[in-house]
Amino acid sequence: MLRRIQKHHIDNVDQYKQKILFWSQQYDEVIWLDSNNYKQKYSSYDAVLAVEAFTSIQTDYNDAFGQVKEYQSITKDWLFGYLSYDLKNDVEELSSNNFDGLHFPELCFFQPKKLFFLKGNTLETHYLNFVSDEVDDDLKSILQTVAIEDVESKQNGNDIKIKLRTHKDEYFNKVNAVLNHIHRGDIYEANFCQEFYAEQTTINPIEIYNNLNRISKPPFASFIKLYDKYLLSASPERYIKKDGNKITSQPIKGTAKRSLNKLEDDKLKKELSEDIKERSENVMIVDLVRNDLSKTAAKGSVKVEELCKVYSFDQVHQMISTVTSQIDDATHPVDVIKSTFPMGSMTGAPKISAMKIIEQLEVSKRGLYSGAVGYFTPDNNFDFNVVIRSILYNESEKYVSYSVGGAITAKSDPLKEYEECLLKAKAMREVLES
């Protein structure tokens, strides 16, 4: 599909970001990806906006990867969307039977009519040829849009009551059950998650997203609007990226709080980098990612470029590793994703056993949480994040949800794991209850 491409100079990039996201809400299909100008070695754009579907695909897990592979092969265009965690059931003989209050499709991608790419002070617009005449009108409309912080926005008088799907004592029992599996040798590690939710609640998605993004400033923030379903994500984690023949995965395992006191903050960062338990979590997942990438990699090409490097974000310090591989020209991009999905940082090791145990012990269907959001390019590249530190909202059912989890290993202390979950949940709870 031919697109008309134009470049424009932007003076105030941060203000433009707010205006363009607010402007996009006139459309039913919106995906916004923002790096928050975080300096990344593998970054392609500072921010991307895709709006208004020309074609689209939505499906459950049955042959989901086969369907998106066919869709991507036929369109050969920019495709934006998400993969839910429960596509694991397409990859392996697994099932998802837990409670689902959100009811998102398990896979959704669309071919946008209009695309906006920000890099530095340059805005690049990509419009399908038959809508290309609208470019100037849209840019004028965006610039005239009132910034979101200038709009009086209220929660419609709602007092949001956050509930726990799994209470503290039950959480301890379930973590001990995971530890029993580890001590029996069933698994080495499992990422166990819990849901926080609010019913009969109306929120302003743009306001909540902007507040969450302002607090966290993560490198893989995303805002999705698909009719009545929303994702408001402050994700710090890349799942997987394809750039030519190079595949890059960057799993996160290991979290520490931040301090306003620089000396104390440096101490917390150093302690995380030297923490044996946190490093062992990370190394286990690195081994799993290496194994997953090897399924499509050219022989001998899987490499660990960074091991257990600590990065600092506004809310937390995180331990991140970078694993890369090379693939042959004939390897289909969707096959690379399918062979690594779900990401090891959200499952455990061995992966299949961990996913079975997760399904037994968790009480909520993960859905889009711990899935991935991203895009395919016309030249078969892709980039996807991991959906964590995220709020999900079904507007029609007035249901709001966010989930958090942590890696349980043989050295895990249930109380410390619980406290880490509360730390990860802090920003989501704060923006919903403020």
**Partner residues linked to 225 by β-bridges:** 30, 230
Contact by Cβ (8 Å): 346, 358: no
Q: Helices marked H in 319-408 — which ranges?
A: 333-340, 351-361
What is the C-alpha separation between 85 and 83, in angstroms, rounded?
7
Active-site annotation holder among 253, 269, 365, 424: 253
Q: Give the three-class secondary structure for 326.
A: strand
Known catalytic membership, residue 411: no
Look-up of token digits 């150093």: 270
For the chain, the distance separating the N- and C-terminal CA atoms, rounded to the nearest angstrom, is 45
CA distances from 64 to 47, 57, 60, 146, 341 (A): 28, 10, 7, 40, 12
What is the C-alpha separation between 246 and 381, in angstroms, rounded?
9
CA distances from 30 to 23, 80, 227, 230 (A): 11, 9, 9, 9
Query: How many residues are present in the chain?
Result: 434
What is the C-alpha separation between 346 and 289, in angstroms, rounded?
11
Known catalytic membership, residue 199: no
Active-site annotation holder among 29, 52, 237, 278: 237
Look-up of token digits 């096959």: 335
C-alpha dihedral over 117, 123, 128, 133, to 10 degrees?
Answer: 160
- Residues recognised as catalytic: 237, 253
